Amino acid sequence: MTREQQLCNGISPWLSPLAMVVTQDLALRTFFRSVSVLGGQHLPSGGPLLLAPTHRSRWDSLLLPHAAGRRVSGRDCRFMVTIDEMHGLQGWLLRRLGCFAVNQSRPSLLSLRYAVELLQQGQQLVVFPEGRIKRDEETPIRLHQGLARLALLARSQGMDVPIVPIGLAYQHRPARWRDRAALCFGEALRIDGRGRDAAGAFNQGLALAMEQCERRACAAIDARPALRAEAAGYP
């Protein structure tokens, strides 16, 4: 049995296009008044890629494919999700949309090796470094070690994988009907060194970059003219 068969069912050729229509053309357009995307020039057009977004709402998993998925980049977003997301009907759907489970605090070697396989194929992986949804605006961003460990493992396999920080913002937490939403890509980061010290240093820089991206996304929602004009120029 392959690692993919143990962790997910790949990407269904019939369910994936249907999910794209339901989520991007119907759900997002119906629920939100507007969705702004900033920093699109920071999204690489090819090669292995790790996307590291803040996690503020369940809507995050729909906004990311809207801003970086097949219609924009020509490739799917492969999500690493928490184990408790993979139960019941939701788990059945996620497995057929290319998602697979990982324990962010103690990621298994199976999950990490499968993620490296996807990166070797030039795919883009979405990892929420905070693990779970955080709606408390006062608490600083705290990241798990899973993404840093994955980047270090990929580096040991000869891959210098860019990690793109992303900030997501909504008018309210949780998001409300006809809210504005915004997503901001930051400049790609790369991990250096090895071991826990390298992972810890990288996480500090990544957390700061994610906070900066989130502030820009919040500013776009606040309707500052310059930022809203900038957002309009990106897909």
* Cβ neighbours of 5 (radius 10 Å): 9
Q: Where does 3-170+177-232 sit in CATH, by number?
A: 3.40.1130.10
Kindly report which listed range (59-63, 80-84, 215-219) carries the lowest average pLDDT score.
80-84
223: tokens are 């309707």
Q: Distance between CA 145 and CA 162 in Å, rounded?
A: 17
Q: Give the confidence band of 85 by pLDDT, cuts at 50, 70, 90.
A: confident
pLDDT for residue 235:
37
- Cα torsion 86, 49, 111, 169 to 10°: value is -40
pLDDT higher than 60, residue 37: yes
Q: Alpha-carbon distance 100 to 51, whole Å? A: 15
Task: From 56, 66, 23, select the one nearest 131 (Cα to Cα).
Answer: 56
pLDDT digits (tens, 9 = 90+) for 54-73: 999 999 999 999 999 999 99
Buried b (16+ CB within 10 A) or exposed e, 133-172: ebeeeeeebebbbbbbbbbbbbbeeeeebbbbbbbbbbbe
User: For the ranges 48-52, 137-141, 184-188, which has the lowest average pLDDT?
Assistant: 137-141
* CA distance linking residue 212 with residue 195, whole number of Å: 26
Give the closest residue to 134 by CA, choosing from 30, 207, 33.
Answer: 207
Kindly report the backbone phi and psi dihedral angles of residue 146, in degrees, each rounded to the nearest multiple of 5, phi listed first.
-60, -50
Cα–Cα dist 89/48, whole Å: 30
Per-residue pLDDT reduced to its tens digit, 161-203? 999 999 999 999 889 999 999 999 999 999 988 888 999 999 9
How much is the pTM?
Answer: 0.90
Given a cut of 80, whether residue 33 has pLDDT beyond it is yes
Is residue 28 over pLDDT 80?
yes
| Cα 202 to Cα 32: distance, rounded to the nearest angstrom | 34
The mean predicted confidence, pLDDT, of the chain is 89
Mean pLDDT, range 109-133, rounded to an integer: 92
